[in-house]
Chain A
Amino acid sequence: MGLSVALHLFLLIGLWVLYTPLGVSWHWDWVPSLGASFSIRLDGLSMLFSWLICGIGLFVQLYAFHYMKDKPLSALFHLYLTLFMLAMLGLVLAGNLLLLFIFWELTTVTSYLLIGFNHDQEVSRKNALQAMLVTGAGGLALLAGLILLGQMAGTWEMDQIINRGAAFTSDNRFAPALILILIGAFTKSAQVPFHFWLPGAMSAPAPVSAFLHSATMVKGGIYLLARLAPVFSQSDLWFWSLALTGGITAVWTVVVALQQRDLKLMLAYSTNVALGKLVFLLALGTRYAISAALMFTIAHALYKAALFMVIGTVDKATGRRNIDQVAGLGRILKFSFLAAGLSALSKAGVPPLPGFLSKEYMYKAALQISYAPTILLVFVNALMGAMALLVVVRPFISKPDARTVPATPVEKYIFLWIPPVCLGILQLWATTLGLHWLNTTLIIPAGQAIAPNAGYVSLKLWQGLNLPLALSGVSLLFAFLLFKYHTRIKRFIDRTTRMLPTGSQCYELIVKGIIRSGSALTSVLQHGRLTGYIFMLFFLMALVFLFNVPALPMPDIVDRQGIRFYEVLLALGLAAAVTTVILSHSRLLAIVSLGVAGFITTLFLMFYNAPDVAKTQLLVETLSVIFLVIIVGRLPKFSEVLPHTPVKRMLNTAIAVTIGTGVFRVLYAMSAGDPDTTLIDYFAANSLIAAHGRNIVNVILVDFRAIDTLGEITVVVMAALAASAILLKKKRTDR
């Protein structure tokens, strides 16, 4: 734990030393032939996110130090947390699309480990898997989108792609690339209809929620959108998909959030709301909108991390998270109350906290566009304000009643309250003393990375009496009213949304459907009847022959070089042997006849000057007969097996005839033309000189194509292993 804290501090300071607002980058070759390089790029946007990641990460590690102390494997928890932090840091610092994708997937995997940390609980495992499947599916879409983008640009380096800016709009790969990347970003940032994994992930321990759902995991998608905005933001598709998705997410999840009684779930849904708002602001893309988005990213990271920690402490003190069961904690958890109060005020948008400042600029940006986005934002912010009041007033200020659970004073452990209080103080600092610093070092450079030509100005806390300020007041007022009549509103929402399916239910349906269709397909294809497999194999082969062999003109057979009498004899013998196989009523006779057919084929090979092939064929035939003889003694007699139905017989005959004629036509077509002798000439010329051997076949096997042979003998050994595994298993079960 000490190590991970040291690592966080080291990264924070290191990044600070390296950072310049104009951006710096480093480059190492990784897989040059693929254009994948290990390039790091640290500009304003990356800096803002990486400082949030390291900073919040530091506080979360400190908080987790006590929170997870009594849990088993707490060291492992710190390790996962650190790994996740590093993956996230890699994501926001990557300067190469492929590198970015790798870190993106790493965050998915490590977040799975974190969300499912309480893996002794089934719901925890289920929700971790759900989060991973949803974000993982989005990751696949993202990969496809990034590949398309890379192909359009002809490079994987983000610097070059972004410098080209909107040059790709006319490319016909533009829209697919955009949509695929958006799916990736929306799943990560939990936008409707993928929003449900985020509340589900609340089964994680409190520090995980504080970290993943404030500054990191879910902000990954926002970072990606912001990073690629210079490439895509000129298109209408970008604007509409972001604005609609963000708007719908914000409105829908804020309504659902008001329904919740679990404090942690309330915060989870309000994270959805914040993400929706961020996406919405990125869609607007004006300088005010982007400044507001960046400020809101900082504000949200600070207050949400603090609130999640406080709720964790409440959970620790009372063992409850239900809003009806905790009350009057203000006197017991004094410091937590302070931190929660500051954070909730920021969340509600009370001056001078960062939440207020971001709201001011949100309204400014929206008013520039039209009234629709303004109304949407006022609505969402009012409900968010009500949520903020609910989260703090009820647990900390209200009088305890009959349902309240008594609390233990857990604040004697300083790590439970120092991190959230620090975050609270940071919020006070951010918009007062630190505002100038924030503006010049982070927000303006970051804004320039998102929309280079927007002409940014410093954010100011006091801008005079204007419409945005009035709107802030209005939303606060509404927030208070909503809080006051909360129970009635909740009842109304419950009534109206009862019929709607939740995202989680849809997910369940989809996953169940996939599993069911998978097992249906398996039972069709893997039925375990050997005859069925063979039938399928030859049926498909017959189809290939039916449709894929070009109808070659059949040259006159007699026209070709004279047929010798022993060839006719052999052909007749072959026909007789095969007929015997078909008509035989005894397995042994059938096997022997099959062997005879094989040996006659060998003779053919001998006559055509292929002694090595003939020998191999002969030996393989012999071995097959031996194998079959060993097996056949155990099989039931033919007379005991039901004969095929006439229809089945007809079908089999048709397939056999099709394959037979097909093979004949292919062979005939092959021998009709002049064979290409390039290879033969090469091997004949080089086998003695280069490989000291006169037997071309063997020289090819052990020298020219030795690596193929190596593969083949490996396959032989694998087959042997598989066979003995099956037979051994049988032996064991017999015992």
Chain B
Amino acid sequence: MKSVIFKTTAHIVIGIMLLFSLYLLFRGHNEPGGGFIGALIAVIAFALLILSESPHYIRKRIGLSPGMIALTGVCLSLGSGFFAAFSGKAYLTGLWCKTGLALGTPLLFDVGVYLAVIGGVLSILLDLAEELL
């Protein structure tokens, strides 16, 4: 399994996949994509690295524990709703800045989803891989 070809290509492919996952995340509001799909692609990219290198390699390179990433994500999504709540609207109502770029709290929410799913699934994957591989 640990052939040099697989290892080398994996590193290249992963870069592309992570980039693509970010692209999907940000274009999700208007085109097919979004936080959940982007996150799954990112996790698959990491899975490729787990298989070609080792779970330990991933943990070392990410630095943050997956649980922390997931927690950050949930908090981000949870917090994005308060912008509306504090400006007198219902919790989680989407707020947009009206100028130029389409930036708004739903994007923040989607980033939260992205991080939560990456963290959650990656955590299971890493634990399992460390247990079994």
Which of B4-12, B56-64, B122-130 lines the interface with chain A?
Answer: B122-130
A719 on interface, CB distance cutoff 8 Å:
yes
Alpha-carbon distance A691/B67, docked complex (angstroms): 31
Asked whether B30 lies within 8 Å of A695 as measured between CB atoms, the reply is yes
Chain A residues near B110 (CB, 8 Å)?
A: 698, 701-702
User: Cβ of A727 and Cβ of B131 under 8 Å apart?
Assistant: yes
**Most chain A CB within a 10 A radius of its CB, from B32, B125, B129:** B32
Chain B 13-50 interface mask (CB, 8 Å, partner A; 1/0):
00000000000000011111111110011011001000
- Tell me if A627 counts as interface (CB < 8 A to partner B): yes
Residues of B within 8 A of A694 (CB): 29-31
Which of B44, B123, B127, B132 is within 8 Å of A634, CB to CB?
A: B132
Given contacts A698-B110, A706-B81, A717-B70, contact A724 B123 (CB under 8 A): yes
Q: Is A173 an interface residue (CB 8 A)?
A: no
Are the C-beta atoms of A702 and B127 separated by less than 8 Å? no
Nearest A residue (CB) for B44? A622
CB proximity to A under 8 Å, residues B75-133: 77-78, 81, 91-92, 94, 96, 102, 104, 106-107, 109-110, 112-113, 116-117, 119-121, 123-125, 127-133
Band of interface residues on B: 35 or more
Are A633 and B132 interface neighbours, CB within 8 A? yes
B111 CB, nearest partner CB in chain A, Å: 10
Of A34-42, A257-265, A608-616, which binds chain B?
A: A608-616
Shortest B96–chain A CB gap in Å is 6
Q: A698-B110, A706-B109, A717-B70 are in contact. Are A620 and B128 (CB under 8 A)?
A: no
**Interface code A707-732, partner B: CB below 8 Å = 1, 0 otherwise?**
10110011011011101100110110
Pick the contact of B67 from A631, A633, A713, A720 — CB < 8 Å?
Answer: A720
- Residues in chain A near residue B32, CB distance under 8 A: 611-612, 615, 695, 697
| B29:A717 contact, CB within 8 angstroms | no
Tell me whether A631 and B74 are in contact (CB under 8 A): no
Q: Kindly state the separation between the CA atoms of A391 and B38 in the bound complex, as whole angstroms.
A: 82
Per-residue B-contact encoding for A278-308, CB less than 8 Å = 1, 0 else: 0000000000000000000000000000000
Contact B133 A630, beta carbon cutoff 8 Å: yes
A701–B36 touching, CB < 8 Å: yes
For residue B104, give the distance in angstroms from its CB to the closest CB of chain A: 7
A482 at the interface (CB under 8 A from B): no
Q: Which residues of B contact A631 (CB under 8 A)?
A: 128, 132
- For residue A498, CB closer than 8 A to chain B, the reply is no
- How many chain A residues have a CB neighbour from B under 8 Å? 43
- Closest A residue to B90 by beta carbon equals A707
Shortest beta-carbon distance, B118 to chain A, in Å?
10
A717–B120 touching, CB < 8 Å: yes
Distance of A81 from chain B, by nearest CB (Å): 43
- Provided the pairs A620-B40, A716-B116, A717-B120 are in contact, do residues A723 and B34 lie with their beta carbons within 8 angstroms? no
Contacts of A699 in B (CB 8 A): 29, 106
- The tally of CB-CB contacts under 8 A between chains A and B is 152
Pairwise interchain contact A717-B74, C-beta atoms closer than 8 A: yes
Q: Which residue of A lies closest to B122 (CB)?
A: A720
Which residues from B are CB-within-8-Å of A720? 66-67, 70, 119-121, 123-124
Measured in the bound complex, the distance between the Cα atoms of B122 and A717 in whole Å is: 10
| Given A702-B34, A713-B74, A721-B67, residue A630 in contact with residue B128 (CB < 8 A) | yes
Q: With A699-B29, A730-B131 as known contacts, state yes or no: A706 contacts B92, CB within 8 Å.
A: yes
Minimum CB–CB distance for B60 against chain A, Å: 18
Provide the bound-state CA to CA distance between A727 and B71, in Å.
19
| A692, CB-defined interface residue at 8 Å | yes
B37 in contact with A716 (CB, 8 Å): no
Tell whether, in the assembled complex, residue A716 and residue B34 are in contact, meaning their CB atoms are under 8 Å apart. Answer: no
Assess A724 versus B70: contact at CB under 8 Å? Given A620-B40, A713-B117, A717-B116.
no
Q: Does A703 contact B (CB under 8 A)?
A: yes
Interface residues of A in 218-233 (CB under 8 A from B): none
Let me know if A698 and B29 touch, CB within 8 A.
Answer: yes
Residues of A within 8 A of B117 (CB): 713, 716
Q: Distance in Å from the Cβ of A488 to the closest Cβ of chain B?
A: 76
Interchain CB contact under 8 A, A717 and B119? yes
Q: Are B106 and A706 in contact (CB under 8 A)?
A: yes
Residues from chain B with Cβ under 8 Å of A633 in the complex: 132-133
Q: How far is the CA of A690 from the CA of B91 in the complex (A)?
A: 16
CB–CB B124/A724 < 8 A: yes
Which residues from chain A contact B128 at a C-beta distance below 8 Å? 627, 630-631, 723, 727
Does A693 sit at the interface, judged by CB under 8 A?
yes
Q: Are A701 and B43 in contact (CB under 8 A)?
A: no
- Asked whether, in the complex, the Cβ of A619 is within 8 Å of the Cβ of B131, the reply is no
Give Cα A428 to B21, complex, Å. 89
Residue among B36, B91, B119 with the highest chain A CB neighbour number at 10 A: B36
Residue of A nearest to B118 (CB): A716
A717 touches B71 (CB 8 A): yes
Q: Is A626 an interface residue (CB 8 A)?
A: yes
Interface string of A68-99 (1 = CB under 8 A from B): 00000000000000000000000000000000
Counting CB contacts under 8 A, is A369 at the interface?
no
Q: How far is the CA of A672 from the CA of B121 in the complex (A)?
A: 38
Known A-B contacts A622-B44, A694-B30, A710-B78; A616 and B37 likewise in contact (beta carbons under 8 Å) = yes
| A693, B30: Cα distance in complex, Å | 5
A623 at the B interface (CB under 8 A): yes
| Contact A702 to B31, CB < 8 A, known contacts A709-B77, A720-B70 | no
Scoring B29, B41, B71, B123 by chain A CB atoms within 10 A of each residue's CB, the highest score goes to: B29
By a CB distance below 8 angstroms, the chain B residues around A695 are 28-34
Are B36 and A616 in contact, with the CB atoms below 8 A?
A: yes
List of A residues within 8 angstroms of B131 by Cβ = 727, 730-731
Chain B residue at minimal CB-CB distance from A634: B132
Cross-chain contact A626 with B47 (CB below 8 angstroms): yes
Which residues of A are found within 8 Å of B121, using beta-carbon distances? Answer: 623, 716, 720
> What are 29 residue pairs bridging A and B, where the CB atoms are less than 8 Å apart in the complex?
A612-B32, A612-B34, A616-B40, A619-B37, A622-B40, A623-B43, A623-B121, A630-B129, A691-B106, A693-B29, A694-B30, A695-B30, A698-B28, A698-B34, A701-B34, A701-B35, A702-B94, A703-B106, A706-B77, A707-B91, A710-B92, A713-B120, A716-B116, A716-B120, A717-B116, A720-B121, A724-B67, A724-B124, A727-B130
Chain A residues proximal to chain B, CB less than 8 Å: 611-612, 615-616, 619-620, 622-623, 626-627, 630-631, 633-634, 690-695, 697-699, 701-703, 706-707, 709-710, 713-714, 716-717, 719-721, 723-724, 727-728, 730-731
Per CB-CB distance, the 3 closest pairs between chain A and chain B, nearest first, are A619-B40, A720-B120, A693-B29
